[in-house]
Amino acid sequence: MSANEDQEMELEALRSIYEGDESFRELSPVSFQYRIGENGDPKAFLIEISWTDTYPQTPPIISMNAFFNNTISSAVKQSIVAKLQEAVEVNLGTAMTYTLFEYAKDHREQFMEHHRPAASPQTSISNIISVETPNAAPSSKKKDKREQLSKAQKRKLADKTDHKGERPRGWNWVDVVKHLSKTGSKDDE
């Protein structure tokens, strides 16, 4: 089989295997991303694999330069890529994208053992939240007071609106007959 036929078959297999998997993303027919770990997990990382023209006879391009990986040190990234390159050498000549993603999932803890999540961004976010909380509290109390209506007020409001909660067309129009009768009586005098 030619490289293109191998790639087409692997692409079809990847689409069927990862259909509905939120961690998998096809960037193009020859480039894929897979998130190892759950969203919000400080040890989660994203692997991007791009196929060359002669893949699978030649190794794919493995990258961890995605924005998602900004909190991971370059040493840890290089270590992960190096270990994945070792797996590439073993599987050279065969379809290996699925194998690489599964290898990364199976060895996630080993890959990330030297990763130390940064505490400073989380601390600054909690400080921002705690600073903003006192300011937000008074405005929410004011909103609560406005929203509390008596039954009579609610009924009166419901009578003024249609089933969608909107006022009928022309609700603020002046009654022409009433207006003319008021202005016309002054002219007669």
* 3-class SS shares of the chain: helix, strand, coil, % to 5: 55, 10, 35
For residue 48, what pLDDT is reported? 92
In the sheet with 61-63, reading across from the earlier edge strand, the strands are 24-28, 31-36, 45-50, 61-63
Res 185: pLDDT? 54
- Does domain 3-112 bear CATH number 3.50.50.60? no
Q: What is the pLDDT of residue 50?
A: 92
Domain locations in the chain? 3-112
- Tell me how far apart the alpha carbons of residues 7 and 9 are, in angstroms, rounded to a whole number: 5
Q: Is the dihedral angle over the CA atoms 86, 89, 90, 93 positive or is it negative?
A: positive
The helix or strand, by DSSP H or E, that contains position 27, with its residue range, turns out to be strand 24-28
In tens digits, the chain (189 residues) has pLDDT values of 677 888 888 889 888 898 888 889 899 989 999 988 888 788 888 899 999 888 888 899 988 888 888 888 888 888 888 888 988 898 888 888 888 888 888 888 888 877 776 544 444 444 444 444 444 444 444 444 556 778 888 777 777 777 776 777 776 777 777 777 787 655 455
R_g of the chain, CA atoms, integer Å: 32
Residues whose CB falls within 8 Å of the CB of residue 14, separated by 6 or more in sequence, listed in order: 24, 26, 32, 97, 98
pLDDT of residue 43: 82
3-class DSSP state of 102: helix
pLDDT score of 117:
65
Q: Return left, alpha or beta for 20; rule: phi > 0 is left, psi -120 to 50 is alpha, else beta.
A: left
Q: Residues 143-171, buried b or exposed e (16+ Cβ, 10 A)? A: eeeeeeeeeeeeeeeeeeeeeeeeeeeee
Tell me the angle at which helices 3-17 and 97-106 cross, rounded to the nearest 10 degrees.
Answer: 50
Confidence (pLDDT) at 22: 87
